[in-house]
A and B are shown apart, each in its own frame.
Chain A
């Protein structure tokens, strides 16, 4: 029988840069594998649980030293997966980790499937569904704030909140069922007003959660912006000023940026992806044509634009043309080069409409703070804070919306004097949706989908 007893291995840290890489092995044979490939002061099979041994990884066939490592031994059941686990911390970079991984596999264990460690943790009862998803978030959390949201969810805070919601609906459901199943007894029947009140207060809580959740997904997924403007207005300099690093090539020759260059910045904990574009300049140059296509694409995939003009020049036809092309999307007008005498007259293009305007000098790094604030305002993140259980996944938000929809139906039903068994049905459906968030009534297809989402190594 192919069972869940087999042992799996994967590199647990992101590929590429980093001081160390971690290779994780989980399963019945984890310590056997360690014994075969590790040489250190003590034996992994004999050492106590949750201990670290210093030593080296050696190819069991060629006897060649691969890397000096720290080996962490963790015994079932108090491990992430619930199984026997070893973690090998080796030097960073791709090569050492890859070689150790290959060495592990050469001992007869297999490569973990996507999300398999977390799947095992879930199946071994280590995590509830919301917690399992939070793990995913930790690994894709792009900033500190986002990480905090994920950690809170891991603690089961969201689960707790949902449970409270569920409890209040269960008590309402009880009242209604009571009136249906014990109609022949002289029992208390809930009044229309109090039923409505309970439904509505639950809707309010769900609304609040959805609202916070939407902000939170901004925290997790971030927003994105395209820097757009005619050549040589300082788009790349602006990107660099925002990124605080030399990323885009900045030269005074128009059309230097021939590709879309992007980078992540962190404004008050919100990850913001910024794409520098080469503009829409008509050109015969094939490379630049490709760049223009990419600019159009960046325009479509980002949530807003930073329209950059050169403050030291008067507006030209090209500025107007670009502005016309992008003005349907939210944008901020950035007047660059304010360190030079100002000649630009913005009112020429805004045509009476009001847009947020920022004056900056990318070169001198002035006005960048103000620009950051305008960006936060534009994406509606000025009052964002995560300090409690908040649904951060689209699936949670969808389920909350579904629960809300059922409760709105229930509300209408009660108001229209519909029969209580119909109200009960709506409330039960709302309960099922809430239950799905914390994994209590998850149908098969959702589980499959969730596990596909897990990145390898966790």
Chain B
């Protein structure tokens, strides 16, 4: 083999959303980086729906942005529709969702990467991880290249041993029209990683020209759209609608009739698919009482003829997909451009990585994105930026960057991955965050921007702007707490809002706590407040008391979170631990008692045993020290 050796600080394998954030953060922090990807013109490709954000995922995008990532910026720039979801509920669950121009997104992020001076781009299929003495040294490609580096980040998405299913046909592929990475899976197994298999799917792409929009309900973006990125200015996107239609009984019958041609139901697909994002055949079989399901038609971009169908992921044969779609209102004469498909791929059980995303087996080897069993662009990007930053800190010999569960959804995500057993593709939900009220998209910058700035990924001016804003918010809240209003001043407003009237003089802040009173209602008494500041004041008022409660809970748990556990300990030697707990603890090797307590199968009694053990170990260490002194 003709081997050319090139040397880098960091090699990122894969140019999807995880790979992009990883290579950008590493390069911007000064590493000499290499991005190896199968097709350079597919960098930043959205393999599934053309949208970014949504429930809990938008929190991740805001957090990535606060750390200095790129996803929010590109989404703002290429978005075709922006909607704030869940606005009828509290701010902790508000979520921004954007439709994105798939082609523009790819182009824009591609440009950013190409223009980054510390990034070298190479096309190639990485086949093998090179390691020496348990430390990564580089990778080789199918094309016969060898690249050397101190750190390697694998962000291979669905490409590891990817197998596409359309009906009973199947063929190896990483994504439609792209080859899979077969050798790499083998290489990981040879090193000793344990791999699992997951399944996901996507729906058909159809031609805009063939859709009859006349009877479809359009769904427009917000009149005053909000955006993700702190760097976005003069945000006035030109928005285009999506369209809503529904499935029907006739279509469900077609599906049921053709189940013998479904790879999911004939057993051809072995990987486990996501429960929260089932294929349409799954939905019809599992919920026979539902006579129709929602279907959204989403434009792939402003300049393309392609429409994406959201809610109809399927791996049925293309002729069945065609027959199905044509029963749907608006799609009577639809032309399918590409049928939907199911894809199975390998992933590495993430118990094998540290919270830094570095593997436990191979020093300097990091894993980010779907390779860790997650699904979703946002989940991938979040891991990408964390892997990139930690690769840099590793090379510098600095403290790793780990976000706790009370600091960020990113922290929840990674902690869940390395602690819980992943059985299906993992996606973010707000209910996974026990400190949900503290982790809002509106305060992602207050929580994380300082880190981004410390890493040199966020400019000073944004930190200054943030500090000024937060100060202003605090000052205004203090003022409202001190502003007492007389019943006669406030009761007129309260009456108008059908809120119970008051007979005592009360601080305005107290009034604002009521769910039915908004800050605009009390504007006559406060004077004009900047809308952004006003929004934030209102959030604090509505959550007053609850935020404090959550902060106390965080404090209470800190004791466990701050108790480190030894990494080289064999838990099976600890008498009294249940067998299951010992095995799980050995598999995870938790770094703190807090993490240990979240491992499924580890009981309270096991944790208390660990506490007893730790205490004794400590006194033992002291004992040894005195012994040593004596012998000296």
Q: Given the complex, which residues of B lie within 8 Å of A282, measured CB to CB?
A: none
Q: Which of A89-137 contact B (CB under 8 A)?
A: 120, 122-125, 129
Q: How far is the CB of B276 from chain A (nearest CB, A)?
A: 8
A387 at the interface (CB under 8 A from B): no
Interface-central residue, A4, A180, A442, by most chain B CB under 10 Å:
A180
Select which of B429, B515, B575 is within 8 A of A3 by beta carbon: B575
Interface of A: prevailing SS: loop
The answer to whether A439 and B546 have CB atoms under 8 Å apart is: no
The answer to whether B605 and A123 have CB atoms under 8 Å apart is: yes
B560 at the interface (CB under 8 A from A): yes
Q: Given the complex, which residues of A lie within 8 Å of B294, measured CB to CB?
A: 185-186
Identity of the chain B residue whose Cβ is nearest the Cβ of A429 in the assembled complex? B549
The answer to whether A447 and B55 have CB atoms under 8 Å apart is: no
Select which of B515, B549, B609 is within 8 A of A425 by beta carbon: B549
Q: Provide the B408-435 mask, 1 if CB < 8 A to any CB of A, else 0.
A: 0000000000000000000001110010
The answer for the CA separation of A177 and B430 in the assembled complex, in Å, is: 8
The answer for the CA separation of A440 and B607 in the assembled complex, in Å, is: 11
A418 at the interface (CB under 8 A from B): yes
The answer for the CA separation of A3 and B609 in the assembled complex, in Å, is: 11
Q: Given the complex, which residues of A lie within 8 Å of B293, measured CB to CB?
A: 186
The answer to whether A184 and B604 have CB atoms under 8 Å apart is: no
Q: Which of A175-193 contact B (CB under 8 A)?
A: 177, 180-186
The answer to whether A439 and B431 have CB atoms under 8 Å apart is: no
B483 at the interface (CB under 8 A from A): no
Q: Given the complex, which residues of B lie within 8 Å of A181, measured CB to CB?
A: 55-56, 93, 429-431
B556 at the interface (CB under 8 A from A): yes
Q: Given the complex, which residues of A lie within 8 Å of B3, measured CB to CB?
A: none
The answer to whether B604 and A129 have CB atoms under 8 Å apart is: yes
The answer to whether B616 and A1 have CB atoms under 8 Å apart is: yes
The answer for the CA separation of A63 and B576 in the assembled complex, in Å, is: 36
Select which of B431, B546, B608 is within 8 A of A180 by beta carbon: B431
Interface-central residue, A5, A120, A184, by most chain B CB under 10 Å:
A184
A443 at the interface (CB under 8 A from B): yes
The answer to whether B604 and A442 have CB atoms under 8 Å apart is: yes
Select which of A123, A416, A417, A439 is within 8 A of B576 by beta carbon: A123
Q: Given the complex, which residues of B lie within 8 Å of A183, measured CB to CB?
A: 55, 85-86, 89, 93
Given contacts A180-B431, A442-B604, contact A417 B616 (CB under 8 A): no
B578 at the interface (CB under 8 A from A): yes
Q: Which of B557-585 contact A (CB under 8 A)?
A: 559-560, 575-576, 578
The answer for the CA separation of A243 and B90 in the assembled complex, in Å, is: 65
A420 at the interface (CB under 8 A from B): yes
The answer to whether A184 and B54 have CB atoms under 8 Å apart is: yes
B506 at the interface (CB under 8 A from A): no
Q: Given the complex, which residues of A lie within 8 Å of B93, measured CB to CB?
A: 180-181, 183, 419, 421
The answer to whether A425 and B430 have CB atoms under 8 Å apart is: no
Q: Given the complex, which residues of B lie within 8 Å of A205, measured CB to CB?
A: none
Q: Given the complex, which residues of A lie within 8 Å of B575, measured CB to CB?
A: 3-5
The answer for the CA separation of A439 and B603 in the assembled complex, in Å, is: 9
Q: How far is the CB of B408 from chain A (nearest CB, A)?
A: 18
Q: How far is the CB of A371 from chain B (nearest CB, A)?
A: 47
Given contacts A125-B578, A129-B604, A183-B85, contact A444 B559 (CB under 8 A): yes
A164 at the interface (CB under 8 A from B): no
The answer to whether B605 and A439 have CB atoms under 8 Å apart is: yes
A2 at the interface (CB under 8 A from B): yes
Q: How far is the CB of B344 from chain A (nearest CB, A)?
A: 25
The answer for the CA separation of A442 and B560 in the assembled complex, in Å, is: 12
The answer to whether B605 and A184 have CB atoms under 8 Å apart is: no
Q: How far is the CB of B520 from chain A (nearest CB, A)?
A: 18
Q: Which of B412-470 contact A (CB under 8 A)?
A: 429-431, 434, 436-437
Q: Given the complex, which residues of A lie within 8 Å of B578, measured CB to CB?
A: 125
Q: Given the complex, which residues of A lie within 8 Å of B620, measured CB to CB?
A: 1-2
Q: Given the complex, which residues of B lie within 8 Å of A129, measured CB to CB?
A: 604
The answer for the CA separation of A1 and B616 in the assembled complex, in Å, is: 8
Q: How far is the CB of B312 from chain A (nearest CB, A)?
A: 14
Q: Given the complex, which residues of A lie within 8 Å of B603, measured CB to CB?
A: 125, 440
Q: Which of B84-114 contact A (CB under 8 A)?
A: 85-86, 89-90, 92-93, 97
Q: Given the complex, which residues of A lie within 8 Å of B191, measured CB to CB?
A: none
A422 at the interface (CB under 8 A from B): yes
Identity of the chain B residue whose Cβ is nearest the Cβ of A82 in the assembled complex? B576
A32 at the interface (CB under 8 A from B): no
B205 at the interface (CB under 8 A from A): no
B502 at the interface (CB under 8 A from A): no
Q: How far is the CB of B53 from chain A (nearest CB, A)?
A: 11
Q: How far is the CB of B89 from chain A (nearest CB, A)?
A: 5
Identity of the chain A residue whose Cβ is nearest the Cβ of B246 in the assembled complex? A186
A441 at the interface (CB under 8 A from B): yes
Q: Which of B590-632 contact A (CB under 8 A)?
A: 603-605, 608-609, 611-613, 616-617, 619-620
Interface-central residue, B54, B436, B578, B605, by most chain A CB under 10 Å:
B605
B478 at the interface (CB under 8 A from A): no
Given contacts A184-B55, A444-B611, contact A422 B516 (CB under 8 A): no
Q: Which of A190-236 contact B (CB under 8 A)?
A: none
B542 at the interface (CB under 8 A from A): yes
Q: Given the complex, which residues of A lie within 8 Å of B47, measured CB to CB?
A: none
B363 at the interface (CB under 8 A from A): no
Q: Provide the A18-57 mask, 1 if CB < 8 A to any CB of B, else 0.
A: 0000000000000000000000000000000000000000
Q: Given the complex, which residues of B lie within 8 Å of A177, measured CB to CB?
A: 429-431
Q: List 22 A-B contacts (CB under 8 A).
A: A1-B616, A120-B576, A123-B576, A123-B605, A123-B608, A123-B612, A125-B576, A125-B578, A129-B604, A177-B431, A180-B93, A182-B55, A183-B85, A184-B97, A419-B90, A419-B515, A421-B437, A422-B543, A422-B546, A428-B434, A447-B604, A447-B611
Having A180-B431, A444-B559, one finds 9 other A-B pairs with CB under 8 Å, namely A2-B620, A122-B605, A181-B429, A184-B97, A419-B90, A421-B92, A424-B431, A439-B605, A444-B560
